[in-house]
A and B are shown apart, each in its own frame.
Chain A
């Protein structure tokens, strides 16, 4: 099976812009979670989607949003970018017989200038 894929891999934006990141889960997985990784805060949970519904949400401002499509692909959007949003954004999928285990994609490195 193909693993989790994320696009784009690298992104440079300026403050105030918005950005959309995409994640395609492992085939058959219906849950997609997003995490932000920064040197200062480590790995932090953003949100989780299951069957097109947000099932869980971390402690991030409303500028961070997401959605999931009927094919389980997911997108996350960050509006009004701030310098502190520079991070590695990781997507993970889970499902099937090992639904407790999350498998991660390669991440999208976002740099906000």
Chain B
């Protein structure tokens, strides 16, 4: 069975602080894909990043960075120097084979100006 856990329900930070969103996944498949999506108040899920199970390289994109560790089944997401526009709900998701996405329960991030 597949499972994605986002233990942090809500996080509040002051603008310019760094923040890390945690994601832990479970799967018995050896090939899988991990994703992060951002959902602003408008409702649309915006794709941020995809990671393949065979690629453990961390990635940095501007103020965003992702830390993928198979040993701990974690795929954490860090926002550096947070901004008010980063306020949203962030979802971690898992996809195995040709199956659908399994989503975590999301983390609501509020950046206070």
Task: Please measure, in the bound complex, the distance between the C-alpha atom of A58 and the C-alpha atom of B99, giving whole angstroms.
Answer: 10
Q: How far is the CA of A90 from the CA of B37 in the complex (A)?
A: 13
Q: A92, A100, A106: which contacts B43 (Cβ < 8 A)?
A: A106
A43-B50 CB under 8 A given contacts A55-B98, A90-B45, A104-B45 = no
Per the bound structure, the CA–CA distance linking A103 and B98 in Å amounts to 15
Residues of B within 8 A of A102 (CB): 47, 95, 101
Contact yes or no, B35 A101, CB < 8 A: yes
Contact present for A101 and B45 (CB under 8 Å)? no
The reply to whether the CB of A66 lies closer than 8 angstroms to some CB of chain B is no
Closest to A103 in B: B47
- For residue A105, which residue of chain B has the nearest CB? B44
Cβ–Cβ contact B47 & A101, under 8 A: yes
Q: With a CB–CB cut-off of 8 A, which chain A residues contact B95?
A: 100, 102
B interface, how many residues as a size bin? Answer: 20 to 34
List B contacts of A98 (CB < 8 A).
50
A42 within 8 A of B: yes
Residue pair A104, B47 in contact (C-beta under 8 Å): yes
Which residues of A have CB within 8 Å of B44? Answer: 104-107
- Evaluate contact between B103 and A88: CB separation under 8 angstroms: no
What 18 additional pairs, Cβ within 8 angstroms, besides A42-B105, A102-B101?
A33-B101, A35-B101, A43-B91, A43-B103, A43-B106, A45-B101, A56-B99, A92-B101, A101-B33, A101-B50, A102-B95, A103-B47, A104-B46, A105-B44, A106-B42, A106-B43, A107-B44, A109-B43
- Residues in chain A within 8 A of chain B (CB atoms): 33, 35, 42-43, 45, 48, 55-56, 58, 88, 90, 92, 98, 100-107, 109
